[in-house]
Structure 1
Amino acid sequence: MIMIIFVSLIGNIYCQAIGTISCFTLDQITCENSGYCYWKNSQCLSLQCHLVNNLAACRSGGALENLCKQVSYTPPQFIASCCNIAYTAQKIYLYRFLSDLSEEDKAQTQASIIQLSSEQPSVQAMDKLFQLDFLSSSQAQLCAILDLYIKQAAILIGKYSHPYYLERAIYESLQNVRDDLYSDSLQRSSTICKILELIDIYYQRLNTYSEKYYTVYNFVNFNHIHLKYLGFQFQQQIFLSWETYPENGFFELTVIYPQIFGIQNAVSPIFMIQITNEINLKYKIKWAKTTLNTVQLMKIDLVKMIFYEVEFQQACSNGYCNVIVSGSGNFLFVDPTISNNCPDILDLTLCILAKCTISGVSCI
């Protein structure tokens, strides 16, 4: 009994010590197992606060106490973590979803990818897809999983597929892209292209599932409504309405927080609008303005991460901005006085999410 207590005590002291040791002094194995550091380019570096699993590192005396603080409360569907000391609370776009897969499913993911790559679309193959681990996969594995989902599109849009599993695939893919510390912007673009294909498949499934559907997953949210309803609103942030429509179809709104891509000048979410059958619908966007600064409506290419000016004229007054728009597009409101160039990014978390590099306390 004394020996057990002694070993336990030594183990606790060791774990505490690990949380207090600077990442830069750790060897690769200790670094990768620390829960607050990661190994890259032969160096041990500090994790971004929201990725820290060893919460002791964020507390007083911890290795990251000058950068991070422990989040006092984390909703049960998310992993408990830390946040930047400059934040008053964890940002909604930085929470990490818990996986609902078993450890066995996670361990079998690579083998399952190989097996499914040779199988034809079927309900049985679809069921196996739902056991693949998005969250822990490398970018190469993630792309392979997304390719398998795209291959199974004909089954996924059918009656045997529940929308939840496609929603989970989308938000877990975006979380993986957000938190990946090893891929560059070109690799991210390739992955996002596949995620956008998956979003298209998802809305095709909703076309036969429900005339009116809405669900929220924090940094990505989904809205789907038949055009006959002539409008809807999302969480009092945006109101969309139209008076007529040339033919039956659906209005699809995906709301994505742009900060997951390191976008600094956004003052609204990205409103990813798709209208079925390529209907050139004319509609009104009414956005609840969240800043006193001048704002500008822009379009964004989510693959290339390039902004484009729009031809639509906005009018802002009494806390709202109104603009008449036609057709599909990815829209967001930005502060035109703020730059997204790497040297101008002030938040070092956004710096990493933008695929820039941290040098000291600056983004380059």
Structure 2
Amino acid sequence: MKFFQIKSQQQVNKKSNLQSKICSLYLEKYKQMIILISALLNVVNSFVGDQTCLSKVTPSTCQNLGYCYWDGSTCQVEDCYKIDEIAACRASGVLHSPIICNALELDGYFFQIYANVCNDPSEDSNELVQHYIRYQEPKNGYADKSSDGVTLNIWNTLFPQYGYISQIYTIQILKQNMVQLDQTLDIYIKYQSLLLYDTNWTYEQEKSISYMLQQLRDDTTLVNTNKKPMITKVWQIIDNLLERFRIIGNNYTAIYPLYSISQVSLSRLQAELSGRKHLAAFKWNQYLQNGYVQILGYDIHQFGFVGQLTQVYEINVFDSGHNTQSLTYGITFTFPFDVTAIAPIYLYSFNKATLQETQIRMLTIGPTDECSYDSTALKSKCNIYPITGNTQYFIGTALNTCLSIPKRYLCKQPRCLWTGSSCTDNPP
């Protein structure tokens, strides 16, 4: 009888232990379910674009938000024009209260071409600002090699041949870091003589130049001793393109966000190029020989200048034999606003080799002076005449010093450098 009592007690103990284990198992499952539900609720309640940059403590989680950058130690808000996540800029986004960046509501066509989704509050609503346009990074292709697998290092050792040119254009510049970009610049320079007589049209070379300028504009890593030589290489590639146009001999205009080119026969007596919020018209009355006027316009925001009202315009005149010619001409700048209200206004020259400007003179303002405003047409005009020589000109206010520039995206190398929270001088 005692034996059975002991056995029965053991069974009770086993049953109790089993029940305890089952309870513990259910409790653990319950805890896991609570954690899962909490996580799901957190995901549901955490919308795209509503997390602060400072809440991210690693480079990857910071950059993955699409509107932040890692400064080496903390996660900071990215420059408005570089932001990829539009939700952060919309009314419910983290960058809209207070307003740090505005959302750009553009046609789908523009979103297919350009990567911009936000802009600075100081800009007009829904304006795709010309000198801060970004092209979409391509999904295919490589930064370090062409589509046939030839690396940048090998490209710079190959003997140039016409059959290779089409492969050069498959190197994806918009994917490159600055070392890779510098190698690519060398490749284009190495192929300069062949590019002059390439039977394909100039579009691929034009587009590549635009990508090169964009990459140099957006870089924040290079010191001037490296960046300025790279900009010099881009000028060489642009000069090569201008020579191609002279060989082709057609009237032609190519306009891109950061630069534009126009070639016009001297017999036309005028040429025009449009920039952001202005039109530049070049006119001349006489010339010695038949030939071409070539106008190169480029934006100098990309080189750290703030205060310019126009692009820089470089005028080069050639006869039919490609020899440089002299020409006396005038420039009429037209603005769709009252430019006289922001006086004083100055005429500047710009040296693209040194990246330095020189103030020529203050422009006179009045109904019959150099700059005037038509209140009926709501347009301003500045007439600069006469001009002689292949000089590069632009109009601007008193240009801001680096120390007075308040925002990182305006503080551009090689003229200025953003250090922590302020803009400092960084002369080329």
Unaligned runs of 5+ in 1: 1-5
Root-mean-square deviation (Å)? 3.0
Letter in 2 for 1:163: T
8 Å Cα contact 1:116-1:125 kept in structure 2? no
For 1:39-66, what per-residue CA distance to the aligned partner results, in whole angstroms no more than 9, with x for missing partners? 3334433210111112222234534333
For 1:19-57, what per-residue CA distance to the aligned partner results, in whole angstroms no more than 9, with x for missing partners? 513246431221233322223334433210111112222
Letter in 2 for 1:330: Q
8 Å Cα contact 1:157-1:205 kept in structure 2? yes
Task: State the partner residue of 1:90.
Answer: 128
Unaligned runs of 5+ in 2: 1-36, 373-380
**CA distance 1:129–1:41, change in 2 (3 Å):** same
Secondary structure at the aligned position of 2:247 is classed as helix
Task: State the partner residue of 1:151.
Answer: 190
- Measured after TM superposition, the shift of residue 303 of structure 1 is 4.0
8 Å Cα contact 1:155-1:161 kept in structure 2? no
Corresponding residue to 2:400 among 324, 335, 340:
340
- Measured after TM superposition, the shift of residue 144 of structure 1 is 1.1
**CA distance 1:37–1:347, change in 2 (3 Å):** closer
Alpha-carbon distance in structure 2 between the residues aligned to 1:312 and 1:60: 43
Q: How does 1:136-285 map to 2 (within 5 A)?
A: 136-235=175-274, 237-276=279-318, 277-285=323-331
For 1:165-190, what per-residue CA distance to the aligned partner results, in whole angstroms no more than 9, with x for missing partners? 11101111111111112123343312
Alpha-carbon distance in structure 2 between the residues aligned to 1:117 and 1:14: 53
Structure 1 length-normalised TM: 0.86
Corresponding residue to 1:119 among 133, 138, 158:
158
Alpha-carbon distance in structure 1 between the residues aligned to 2:215 and 2:304: 14
- Measured after TM superposition, the shift of residue 257 of structure 1 is 2.2
Alpha-carbon distance in structure 2 between the residues aligned to 1:327 and 1:47: 42
- Measured after TM superposition, the shift of residue 17 of structure 1 is 5.7
Task: State the partner residue of 2:113.
Answer: 77
Task: State the partner residue of 2:84.
Answer: 53
- Measured after TM superposition, the shift of residue 348 of structure 1 is 4.2
8 Å Cα contact 1:52-1:81 kept in structure 2? yes
8 Å Cα contact 1:268-1:332 kept in structure 2? yes
Q: Which of structures 1 and 2 has the bigger CA Rg?
A: 2
Alpha-carbon distance in structure 1 between the residues aligned to 2:252 and 2:332: 20
Range moving further from structure 2, 123-132 or 181-190 = 181-190
Alpha-carbon distance in structure 2 between the residues aligned to 1:228 and 1:312: 32
Task: State the partner residue of 2:409.
Answer: 349
Corresponding residue to 1:302 among 352, 361, 370:
352
Letter in 2 for 1:320: C
Q: How does 1:8-87 map to 2 (within 5 A)?
A: 13=44, 16=47, 19-23=50-54, 25-65=56-96, 66-73=99-106, 75=110, 76-87=112-123
Matched positions, count: 354
Secondary structure at the aligned position of 2:416 is classed as coil
